Homo-oligomer: A and B are copies of this chain.
């Protein structure tokens, strides 16, 4: 069960965009961390499709946050890149077993499926409760100059 690499990139990029405010091209964000520019661009496109970012074409263009950092949760970013479906997939194999009912809604009744979903719900709840602003606060408490350094590097 591996999460895509793009999630890490997108989270850092979103935090940086929250610090700059102005549009930043994907190529510049990629240069910050030595990432493949075109592939990072692809990930950011997913954020645009999810409504988290806005893209500006042409010179002086790039990506910027579509909402205030306090209104963007970590879950929003994860869902934008990994999709809304659960990691655990109930394929209703019980339907083929003894006493199985082909018409039953096993994802919503099977005890195993419900237990797995409850666990994922706890995971989602934690991610939804943490916004970019919260993370920014944590970072700046530990490294006050981080935002300025990133702003300088991205807007130079």
Which residues in A have some Cβ–Cβ distance to B below 8 Å? 1-5, 7-9, 11-12, 15, 32-35, 74, 78, 82-83, 87-91, 93-94, 96-99, 109, 111-112, 114-116, 118-120, 122-127, 130, 134-135, 138-139, 142-143, 145-146, 149-150, 152-153
Contact check: which of B8, B109, B116, B120 meets A93 at CB < 8 Å? B8
Report the minimal beta-carbon distance from A125 to chain B, rounded to whole angstroms. 7
Q: Which residues of B contact A135 (CB under 8 A)?
A: 111-112, 115
**Chain A facing B: main interface SS:** helix
Taken together as a complex, chains A and B put the C-alpha atoms of A65 and B74 apart, in Å, by: 39
With a CB–CB cut-off of 8 A, which chain B residues contact A138?
Answer: 111, 114-115
Question: Contacts A99-B146, A142-B111 given: A3-B88 contact, CB under 8 Å?
Answer: yes
The minimal Cβ–Cβ distance linking A59 to chain B, given in whole angstroms, is 24
A26 to B118, CA, bound (A): 29
Contact in complex: A8, B97 (CB < 8 Å) = no
Q: Which residues of B contact A139 (CB under 8 A)?
A: 111
CB-CB nearest in chain B for A130: B115
User: Residue of B at shortest CB range from A78?
Assistant: B1
